[in-house]
A and B are shown apart, each in its own frame.
Chain A
């Protein structure tokens, strides 16, 4: 991206070494965005922890929550597949890239299916909605905020898949794919925190 200036304009200036390399702006932009997102999640996590056990009516987390081990494994392994996919693209393995990319979407989709099932069970079997009690409010907000981020990620992954099937994702795009995979890794890391807070500490 950064073209090194051929001519050196100033008079007293010492000649600059030809390799003037600065970090990639896409990566820096995404990292900044991730820092901002982390702060948002932190506030929701703090609210969740602060309100643990403060609900004045039931149900409580211990009564209704089950640990979603399988779907967690799905989401965490999708981080591996997206990483391998991005690596493949750097070496121009476009077919392998597409297969791994599709696998990532399937794994992410499975995770969302798991969340949907859990919510369905909580709402219809246990009568827990966002307005039932403080647990409901904080649980649906925190898990929902994460699920929203997974959904946004899936939309972006699917867009890349469509472009890729059309033959428009080549090695030249591997930088951008790397930036997108950063976001997906972030979504996974957030799940590690949410999982720990909601299903391990909070139960």
Chain B
């Protein structure tokens, strides 16, 4: 920390050379810089995985299209899924957590700054390993390049016999390494939130953001690790001749499914809980009301995390479990809807009677609420096992989880970008480009993912590289592909906004949104040491207390 401070001072005297700047970023242990590295790394991979999605959509635009070969198509959906989950969503959410958690709880850095840097570089290594498979994946066998086993990599497809060459190893090791990075960051976030809060910030006064990240970190500890264990088993199978998932020697392919989904389903909540965190900060500020039902929000979040550990096998209704297992997982899955519904009601309760300002972050937040609700409803539909037997592995499922990931998570992320960009850079994002981005993305999103539900209901299976004409899917697929390109244009507007506003945006000042949490009390961008003196707080909205000494929150809490 102190060396960073010194670097800041000398920077004003003589400009550092580009090599010094690069060295500073690579060796940094500052939570804000690591947060930005996470976010930039994730944005890079967002563009890459987005291009892969476009390849998929061009291929599926018309029946009997031959834009790419079946093998390349399989590689594209494998890489698209793996990249988006492990190298876009996870790092970008860790990035926001890294940047904002210490600022919000009044700390100067994370609990373990070097572990923080180590975790980031592990994740980065994982991402680069995954993409190195395009070059090195064929190994000595000349057998394909990038992995093509799907993002869940079901056994025995991953066995040596069916996946020769090294591409599947790159997939395994990339996911394993980035998993270790995630565990490191989760340990760090947890220790930071538990041990580094500023005086007066009891658990009951933490911003909901910190509460939600605390829950998410706990969930990472127990949900990402089963995947790491399963990847180690897969490596033992592939390299040491083990038989964990080798059905010829009595091994079980179903066990891999269980292990994968014990990770896979809580993972959805690991991704969505930070988005709830963004919503719980943004909606109150733009409704000019404190969050409605703070303790209930905390309880609902912890409840979601808890229940989410016992729903995984709803991904496996079609493998033929007995009726007790089917009933159990159907009921637990539907039960998750209850605390989630509570959260949606509380956000609406926050907006109710508020003076809502329709700035870009709020637009994305409202988009999130609608789309997340619909995604949740299709989720409850599929929680019913007989319904799932009909639609599992169809485009209905693809539509459902993209509604969560794009309509929910990505919209929440855009809201977060528009909300905190001024804090990070000191400049406002352009409101005009923001509105254009929002409407383009809403249009593109709904054109892409609404018709997909119907393609699924009409029987279109997922992961097919082409299809016969005249099955009622032709028009739907064309519309879906057009929607994907409109989303891509929306992303271009967003990236342009990020770049242009960095130099041309209006000066933001400390507190452009009239916010209430501690990050708005420091300059934009915040100084390397965050707080000159560690603040102390007496309520959930310390800045409200500061701005309204005649009527502080602390009087009522």
Contact = CB atoms under 8 A, between A and B. Distances in A.
A133 interface: yes
A5 B242 contact: no
A115 interface: no
B536 A13 contact: yes
Contact of B534 (A3, A25, A55): A3
Contacts of A2: 195-196
A14 B250 CA distance: 67
A4 B537 CA distance: 13
A11 interface: yes
Contacts of B549: 11-12
A133 B249 contact: yes
A111 B30 CA distance: 41
Contacts of A8: 536
B535 to A, nearest CB: 5
Contacts of A138: 244
Contacts of A25: 111-112, 191-192, 194-196
B199 interface: yes
Contacts of B492: none
Contacts of B252: 50-51
Interface stretch (B151-159, B404-412, B538-546): B538-546
Contact of B233 (A6, A7, A141): A141
B221 A131 contact: no
A33 B180 CA distance: 11
B548 A12 contact: yes
B190 interface: yes
Interface in B95-120: 111-112, 115
Interface stretch (B81-89, B222-230, B446-454): B222-230
Contacts of A42: 226
B47 interface: no
Interface stretch (B181-189, B334-342, B355-363): B181-189
A13 B244 contact: no
A162 interface: no
Interface stretch (A16-24, A167-175, A192-200): A16-24
Contacts of A16: 199-200, 536, 538
Nearest to A19: B199
A28 B188 CA distance: 9
Contacts of B197: 22
A12 B186 contact: no
A43 B226 CA distance: 6
Given A10-B546, A12-B554, A5 B535 contact: yes
A173 to B, nearest CB: 17
A130 B534 contact: no
Contact of A130 (B188, B190, B236): B236
Given A9-B533, A12-B548, A36 B183 contact: yes
A179 to B, nearest CB: 11
A69 interface: no
21 contacts: A5-B199, A10-B542, A11-B545, A12-B538, A13-B542, A14-B200, A16-B200, A20-B536, A25-B191, A29-B111, A29-B112, A29-B115, A29-B187, A32-B186, A39-B223, A40-B228, A43-B225, A43-B262, A51-B252, A138-B244, A141-B244
Interface of A: 1-14, 16, 20, 22-25, 28-29, 32-33, 35-37, 39-40, 42-44, 47, 50-51, 54-56, 130-131, 133-134, 137-138, 141, 145
Interface of B: 111-112, 115, 183, 186-188, 190-192, 194-200, 217-218, 221-226, 228-230, 232-233, 236-237, 240-244, 249-252, 255, 259, 262, 533-538, 542, 545-546, 548-549, 552, 554
Given A20-B200, A42-B226, A131-B243, 10 more contacts: A12-B552, A25-B191, A28-B191, A28-B194, A29-B111, A29-B191, A32-B187, A36-B221, A36-B224, A145-B232
- Nearest 7 A/B pairs, CB to CB: A131-B241, A12-B552, A43-B229, A39-B225, A25-B195, A13-B538, A12-B545
